[in-house]
């Protein structure tokens, strides 16, 4: 949610900032802006729409500066227009602020500032920060101190970067709840919401923590808490390469990421399977594995697609570990004073590792002293850093707003965790080895499903004009139905609902007629006969049926309108396969409707506000 970039050094910052904004655009894309300092002057350029719109107006301006900040916005307060775009200046434009997050007490602060004579131009909460910092600056404080004093008055979340033309040798940054990372170069420093914007510039990064403020010069930086205590920061090395955030010849990131899944699922399991012992090896859990295997209850919490993988995790944990498992929306978990026992273990699943609700749920759980485990993709993300232990899914950067490869990698990691704990409990060596063997077949099976792309595209063509879709699955494939429906609605704007197949009789069947396509996820597993009955029920009402079925199933073709066949595997791993046709179907329908699948309307990749 909102992307922040900054540069200070000897190069012209403008192309660096624009390039950084493009790489962060998945965080928000309703407007963009730059603020730069040169020759004792501040300049702001803002534009409604995508970074490419901003770029067009910059091109004609011959802007050159060696210090600047940039922002790509996902609107929280005020319409997405030029006035509400960032940076926001104080009255004489000597101070410029960009902000990601929400200032919750901005109305009170605004009233106080208005009483002091400050005039506001935008509807944003951010503009309050510019004037508040200005009010402290006018009292004779340095910019660094003014930012600290201003933030001490603020309630809410923020990642901010601040410039002043009166102190043109520094950028002040601060974080509380919204991510910020500092990239250290040679006589140049970079600022970004996430490391994607830093790749190719530097491999040395410093993650700011909540309540920290940094004064960043071209050749050094100082960090303090908002309360003025000095802090020493650790420098981390990042290994990500530029091609990881490139479309690599694909038209969209989403298609690239769907097609990458044979490698991404392999990367998630690489070096983590031990055939001889019939188990998994997860370095990140080694220190807590004894406690984890003795947990009396698991809670898995997440949002959106990650919540769907948590639901699959529930089936895995209960089938193999026989430990009661609850799955919670992070946004609900955090506010309802959940009952947590000391022998529980709580997993927090997040691709970005920055989702505000999941992070807040984790903080709440940590307060209660329970074991908190992160399952994240983004290396160095807040949830990954702040959990007691955890596992990276290693799917590589996911840029398309609709999550695809992160989902399948989350499922791999949940299955690895299941195997690891199950072998500590009562899963036999032979059974463990059989699971390991099956794991190893998954990347090839994923590859085989991706060969169905053309067939799925043809099916998409038949259905691109419909207004509603129903997705039905049972057992392990019920969460896949939810995920398939979410993929379709978020990128094609077609209304879609996922249901447990049998639940359909209790209401949704009323919607079914010849205009309602119904997708059944119906591989040959223990629920197959039941789901076949559900298929007959839909057929009797003339619903059009698309089935995701097992390769070995020739009965289903005679009953349904379209079948998409996937290879067989064990139940636990089946969702990794069955979801892929649904990703492709959603993708092709959206593309045929002429929509931007990488940046669907109203969405942003990383939801860092409540
Ligand atoms: C859907 C999607 C979202 C995210 C959700 C959680 O395609 O991407 O529903 O899954 O916002 O995000 P993370 O996993 O980053 O916590």
Ligand 1 centroid–CA 590 distance in Å is: 19
Cα(412)–Cα(528) distance, integer angstroms: 23
Q: Is 487 helix (H, G, I), strand (E, B) or coil?
A: helix
Number of domains the chain contains: 3
Helix ranges (DSSP H) in 274-381: 289-293, 304-316, 330-333, 356-367
* Domain assignment of residue 606, yes or no: no
Instruction: Quote the pLDDT of residue 607.
Output: 76
Ligand 1 centroid–CA 300 distance in Å is: 15
Q: What's the rounded mean pLDDT across residues 567-577? A: 97
Q: By alpha-carbon position, which residue is closest to atom 3 of ligand 1?
A: 304
The boundaries of the domain holding residue 73 are: 3-243
Instruction: Quote the pLDDT of residue 85.
Output: 95
Domain of 474: which CATH number? 3.40.50.10490
User: Which of 211, 243, 275 is where one domain is finished?
Assistant: 243
- pLDDT, tens digit, 9 for 90 and up, residues 126-151: 999 999 999 999 999 999 999 999 99
Average pLDDT for the chain:
95
pLDDT(243) > 80: no
Which ligand 1 atom is nearest residue 607's CA? 11
Tokens of residue 201, six digits: 């510039």
Instruction: Quote the pLDDT of residue 3.
Output: 92
Instruction: Quote the pLDDT of residue 343.
Output: 95
The model's confidence at residue 405, banded by pLDDT at 50, 70 and 90, is very high
Tokens of residue 94, six digits: 């000597």
Tokens of residue 193, six digits: 């919401």
Q: By alpha-carbon position, which residue is closest to atom 10 of ligand 1?
A: 305
Q: By alpha-carbon position, which residue is closest to atom 5 of ligand 1?
A: 304
* Domain assignment of residue 604, yes or no: no
Instruction: Quote the pLDDT of residue 262.
Output: 97
Q: Is 378 helix (H, G, I), strand (E, B) or coil?
A: coil
* Domain assignment of residue 496, yes or no: yes
Question: Quick count: other Cβ atoms within 10 Å of Cβ 228?
Answer: 11
- pLDDT, tens digit, 9 for 90 and up, residues 155-167: 999 999 999 999 9
**CA 148 vs CA 21, 227, 345: distances in Å:** 26, 7, 37
Q: What is the DSSP pairing of strand 544-550 with strand 562-566? A: parallel
Instruction: Quote the pLDDT of residue 5.
Output: 97
User: Are residues 152 and 264 located together in one domain of the fold?
Assistant: no
User: Are residues 31 and 110 located together in one domain of the fold?
Assistant: yes
* Domain assignment of residue 472, yes or no: yes
Q: Which of 175, 487, 565, 605 is catalytic?
A: 605
Q: Comparing C-alpha atoms, which of 222, 85, 51 is closest to residue 142?
A: 222
* Domain assignment of residue 482, yes or no: yes
Helix ranges (DSSP H) in 392-477: 405-424, 429-450, 453-463
User: Are residues 478 and 391 located together in one domain of the fold?
Assistant: no
* Domain assignment of residue 67, yes or no: yes
User: Which of 450, 477, 492 is where one domain is finished?
Assistant: 450
Q: What's the rounded mean pLDDT across residues 381-388? A: 94
Helix pair 405-424, 429-450: axis angle to 10 deg: 170
- pLDDT, tens digit, 9 for 90 and up, residues 330-380: 999 988 888 999 999 999 999 999 999 999 999 999 999 999 999 999 988
Instruction: Quote the pLDDT of residue 198.
Output: 94
Mutate to test the pocket of ligand 1, among 300, 304, 597 (most ligand atoms within 8 A of CB): 304
Phi-psi region of 594 (alpha: psi -120 to 50; beta: other; left: phi over 0): left
- pLDDT, tens digit, 9 for 90 and up, residues 165-176: 999 999 999 999
Determine whether 93 is exposed, middle or buried from the number of CB atoms within 10 Å of its CB (0-12, 13-18, 19+).
middle
User: Are residues 87 and 236 located together in one domain of the fold?
Assistant: yes
The model's confidence at residue 490, banded by pLDDT at 50, 70 and 90, is very high
User: Are residues 315 and 186 located together in one domain of the fold?
Assistant: no
Mutate to test the pocket of ligand 1, among 351, 354, 357, 383 (most ligand atoms within 8 A of CB): 351
Per cent of the chain over pLDDT 90 is 87
- Give the CA dihedral 478, 484, 489, 494, nearest 10 degrees: -100
User: Are residues 337 and 481 located together in one domain of the fold?
Assistant: no
Q: What's the rounded mean pLDDT across residues 525-536? A: 91
Lateral strand order in the sheet of 212-216: 88-89, 95-100, 158-164, 171-176, 212-216, 221-225, 230-231
pLDDT(610) > 80: no
Which ligand 1 atom is nearest residue 606's CA? 15
Cα(452)–Cα(353) distance, integer angstroms: 32
Residue count of the chain, please give it: 610
pLDDT(89) > 80: yes
**CA 110 vs CA 145, 149, 525: distances in Å:** 20, 16, 60
Which ligand 1 atom is nearest residue 605's CA? 8
Question: Pocket around ligand 1: residues whose beta carbon is below 6 Å from it?
Answer: 303-306, 350-352, 355, 358, 402-403, 486, 490, 606-607
Ligand 1 centroid–CA 53 distance in Å is: 27
Domain of 128: which CATH number? 3.60.20.10
pLDDT(604) > 80: no
User: Are residues 25 and 115 located together in one domain of the fold?
Assistant: yes
Instruction: Quote the pLDDT of residue 507.
Output: 87
Which ligand 1 atom is nearest residue 407's CA? 10
- Active site annotation includes 605: yes
Mutate to test the pocket of ligand 1, among 254, 306, 334, 399 (most ligand atoms within 8 A of CB): 306
User: Are residues 349 and 288 located together in one domain of the fold?
Assistant: yes
Instruction: Quote the pLDDT of residue 78.
Output: 86
Q: By alpha-carbon position, which residue is closest to atom 16 of ligand 1?
A: 350
Which ligand 1 atom is nearest residue 308's CA? 10
Which ligand 1 atom is nearest residue 304's CA? 9
Ligand 1 centroid–CA 359 distance in Å is: 13
User: Are residues 539 and 574 located together in one domain of the fold?
Assistant: yes
Cα(139)–Cα(142) distance, integer angstroms: 9
Q: What's the rounded mean pLDDT across residues 377-398? A: 94
Ligand 1 centroid–CA 375 distance in Å is: 13
Cα(255)–Cα(248) distance, integer angstroms: 11
Ligand 1 centroid–CA 289 distance in Å is: 27
* Domain assignment of residue 84, yes or no: yes
Is 435 in contact with 333 (CB distance < 8 Å)? no
pLDDT(246) > 90: no
Ligand 1 centroid–CA 598 distance in Å is: 13
User: Are residues 288 and 404 located together in one domain of the fold?
Assistant: yes
Ligand 1 centroid–CA 325 distance in Å is: 21
The model's confidence at residue 115, banded by pLDDT at 50, 70 and 90, is very high
User: Are residues 402 and 511 located together in one domain of the fold?
Assistant: no
Helix ranges (DSSP H) in 356-428: 356-367, 382-386, 405-424
User: Are residues 80 and 222 located together in one domain of the fold?
Assistant: yes
* Domain assignment of residue 602, yes or no: no
What single DSSP character describes residue 12? -
Is 128 in contact with 153 (CB distance < 8 Å)? no
What one-character-per-residue DSSP string does 36-103 give? EEETTEEEEEEEES-HHHHHHHHHTT----SEEEEEEE--SSS-SSTTTSSPEE-TTSSEEEEEES-B
User: Which of 416, 450, 484 is where one domain is finished?
Assistant: 450
Instruction: Quote the pLDDT of residue 180.
Output: 95
pLDDT(390) > 80: yes
């Amino acid at each position: 949610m909102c992307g922040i970039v900054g540069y200070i050094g000897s190069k012209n910052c403008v192309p660096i900032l624009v390039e950084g904004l493009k790489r962060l655009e998945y965080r928000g894309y309703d407007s963009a802006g730059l603020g730069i300092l040169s020759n004792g002057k501040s300049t702001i350029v803002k534009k409604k729409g995508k970074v490419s719109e901003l770029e067009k107006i910059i091109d004609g301006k011959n802007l050159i500066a060696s210090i600047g900040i940039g922002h790509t916005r996902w609107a929280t307060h005020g319409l997405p227009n030029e006035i509400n775009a960032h940076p926001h200046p104080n009255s004489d434009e000597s101070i410029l602020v960009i902000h990601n997050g929400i200032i919750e007490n901005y109305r009170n602060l605004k009233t106080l500032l208005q009483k002091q004579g400050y005039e506001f131009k935008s509807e944003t909460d951010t503009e309050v920060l510019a004037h508040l910092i200005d009010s402290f600056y006018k009292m004779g404080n340095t910019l660094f101190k003014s930012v600290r004093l201003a933030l001490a008055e603020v309630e809410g979340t923020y990642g901010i970067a601040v410039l002043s033309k009166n102190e043109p040798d520094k950028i002040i940054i601060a974080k509380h709840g919204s991510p910020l990372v500092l990239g250290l170069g040679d006589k140049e420093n970079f600022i970004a919401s996430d490391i994607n914007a830093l790749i190719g510039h530097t491999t040395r990064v410093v993650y700011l923590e909540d309540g920290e403020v940094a004064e960043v010069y071209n050749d050094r930086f100082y960090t303090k808490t908002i309360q003025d205590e000095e802090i020493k920061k650790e420098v981390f090395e990042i290994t990500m390469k530029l091609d990881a955030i490139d479309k690599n010849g694909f038209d969209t990131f989403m298609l690239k990421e769907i097609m990458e899944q044979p490698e991404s699922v392999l990367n998630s399991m690489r070096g983590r399977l031990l055939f001889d012992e019939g188990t998994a090896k997860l370095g990140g859990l080694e220190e807590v594995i004894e406690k984890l295997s003795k947990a009396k209850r698991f809670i898995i919490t997440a949002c959106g697609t990650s919540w769907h993988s948590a639901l699959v995790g529930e089936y895995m944990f209960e089938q193999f570990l026989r430990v009661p498992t609850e799955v919670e929306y992070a946004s609900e978990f955090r506010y309802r004073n959940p009952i947590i026992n000391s022998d529980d273990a709580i997993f927090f699943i997040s691709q970005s590792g920055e989702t505000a609700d999941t992070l807040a749920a984790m903080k709440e759980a940590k307060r209660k002293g329970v074991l908190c485990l992160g399952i994240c993709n983004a290396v160095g993300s807040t949830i990954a850093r702040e959990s007691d232990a955890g596992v990276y899914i290693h799917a590589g950067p996911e840029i398309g707003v609709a999550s695809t490869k992160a989902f399948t990698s989350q499922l791999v990691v949940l299955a690895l965790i299941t195997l690891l704990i199950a072998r500590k409990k009562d899963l036999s060596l032979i059974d463990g080895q059989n699971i390991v063997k099956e794991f190893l077949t998954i990347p090839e099976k994923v590859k085989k499903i991706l060969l169905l792309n053309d067939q799925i595209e043809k099916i998409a063509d038949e259905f691109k004009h419909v207004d509603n879709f129903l997705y039905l699955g049972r057992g392990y494939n019920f969460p896949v139905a939810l995920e398939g429906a979410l993929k379709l609605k978020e990128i094609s704007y077609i209304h879609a609902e996922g249901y447990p197949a049998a639940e359909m009789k209790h209401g949704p069947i009323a919607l079914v007629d010849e205009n309602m396509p119904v997708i059944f996820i119906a591989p040959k597993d223990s629920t197959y006969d039941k789901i076949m009955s559900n298929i007959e029920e839909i057929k009797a009402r003339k619903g059009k049926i698309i089935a995701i079925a097992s390769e070995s199933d020739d009965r289903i073709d005679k009953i349904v309108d379209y079948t998409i066949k996937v290879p067989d595997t064990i139940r636990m791993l089946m969702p990794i396969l069955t979801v892929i046709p649904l990703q492709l179907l959603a993708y092709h329908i959206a593309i045929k409707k002429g929509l931007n699948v990488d940046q669907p309307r109203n969405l942003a990749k990383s939801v860092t506000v409540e």
